Structure 1
Amino acid sequence: MEKLTADDLMTLEDYARARTQFRHQIMEHKKHRFVKLGDHARLIFENRQTIQYQIQEMLRIERIFEPEGIAEELDAYNPLIPDGCNLKATMMIEYADPDIRKVELAKLIGVENKVWLRVGNDAKVYPICDEDLERDNEEKTSSVHFMRFELTPSMISALKLGETLTAGADHSALTIGVNVADDVRTALSEDLDTPPIN
């Protein structure tokens, strides 16, 4: 999956005109890229379209139009686009009440390293997490984590052939396993390159 360049982005003026329709398209697209892990955690699997939307929104919010600023946003977000042999996700831990959130995030320290994906009956794949910066401290975990799940060629082939995909977490405060819906599994398999035949 190709990384984004400045040529792929709309100007602030063009984005202002296209934003309503573009946002609607992305929200529809994202419906097939969510996996809920219980009531308060979810994985949002990123791809080129979702990352373009995030960059366009950041440029809009920050009123960034100079080439240097655009390049910084591209450098920050392009690593979240899958590379063909992996799936990349943003984990969101969501509690509306800030007091409850503080308590629960304290219980969930290290949860990002205990999340997993599994293709069929293969081994669980645990992610490489938060490569941009450390998001835990001694008191709590972050409510947002970035994850990279590296898959073997055989896992990728199986997924593309329709093998089941499950997701879960093996943390003391979040122990769960869920079947990934067929439409989500299909969408995620499209993020992966077909392995070469030896």
Structure 2
Amino acid sequence: MQLTGSITRESLMTLEAYAKYRKAHKADVIAHRKLRSVHLGDHVTLQFESETSIRYQIQEMLRIEKIFEEEGIQQEIEAYAPLMPDGANWKATMLIEYPDENERKRELARLIGVEDRMFVEVEGHGRVYAIADEDLDRENDEKTSAVHFVRFEFTPAMVSAIKAGAAVKLGCDHTNYPAHMTIPAEALASLAGDLK
């Protein structure tokens, strides 16, 4: 999979080429996604997206749906490309995970607004709160969604600090889910590569 910094129809593989690529590289992509998954407490995971993960997602959708016409390919690009970081931010899929259905229902009701209380704190700088669900609202008066899409926007000084090796914390200050942790070094190194 060739990374180009921009996902276009021309930069995607044909279904045949992707089938070959997938067999040889699926384990690499899974390892990449695992490296960029950060668990906050017992019930929230942020899967930080990258060009690699978004390209893979688009190629998988094209494969599964057997999409090969220009219009369908463009629709998949338009659906997923906005989730790719653009050099001054990190973008993530936020998963709220409770295996027990009754507990999940109860906790999603208690966690309304949790996506807006997620933050990243770069050593020596203030907190950057998530900009959540820019495509559509994913909660109502009764509960929040188990899946959110969040973006953390950084100042040039924060980008420089991250690239220079500053420690970075991920946290949440929602009343019903207070948590914070230092992003592990391996994950942080991968995330720093998204910044320009």
Q: TM-score, normalised to structure 2's length?
A: 0.94
Q: Which residue of structure 1 lines up, in the alignment, with residue 174 of structure 2?
A: 171
Q: Which residue of structure 1 lines up, in the alignment, with residue 77 of structure 2?
A: 74
SS at match of 1:140: coil
Q: Which residue of structure 2 lines up, in the alignment, with residue 196 of structure 1?
A: none
Deviation, structure 1 residue 192: 0.3
Deviation, structure 1 residue 79: 0.8
Distance verdict in 2 for CA 1:96–1:6, change over 3 Å:
same
1:103 aligns with 2:87: no
Mapped contact 1:86–1:148 kept (Cα < 8 A): yes
Q: Which residue of structure 1 lines up, in the alignment, with residue 50 of structure 2?
A: 47
Aligned counterpart for 1:16 among listed residues 16, 19, 37: 19
- The count of corresponding residues between Structure 1 and Structure 2 is 193
Structural mapping, 1:92-131, within 5 Å: 92-131=95-134
Cα distance in 2 for partners of 1:48, 1:125 equals 22
Mapped contact 1:23–1:53 kept (Cα < 8 A): no
Distance verdict in 2 for CA 1:58–1:141, change over 3 Å:
same
Q: Percent identity?
A: 50
1:155 aligns with 2:158: yes
Gaps of 5+ in 1: 194-198
Q: Which runs of 4+ in 1 moved over 3 A?
A: none
One-letter code of the match for 1:27? I
One-letter code of the match for 1:83? D
SS at match of 1:125: strand
Cα distance in 2 for partners of 1:74, 1:144 equals 20
Q: TM-score, normalised to structure 1's length?
A: 0.93
Q: Which residue of structure 2 lines up, in the alignment, with residue 182 of structure 1?
A: 185
1:29 aligns with 2:29: no
Deviations 1:137-195 (A, max 9, x none): 111111111111110111110111100000010011210010111111111111000xx
Deviation, structure 1 residue 113: 0.1
Cα distance in 2 for partners of 1:69, 1:124 equals 39
Q: Which residue of structure 1 lines up, in the alignment, with residue 138 of structure 2?
A: 135
Deviations 1:90-130 (A, max 9, x none): 10111222222111111111000000001003111001111
Deviation, structure 1 residue 84: 0.7
Q: Which residue of structure 2 lines up, in the alignment, with residue 84 of structure 1?
A: 87
Cα distance in 1 for partners of 2:23, 2:178 equals 38
Cα distance in 1 for partners of 2:76, 2:152 equals 23
Mapped contact 1:89–1:148 kept (Cα < 8 A): yes
Cα distance in 2 for partners of 1:21, 1:174 equals 40
One-letter code of the match for 2:178? T
One-letter code of the match for 1:164? A
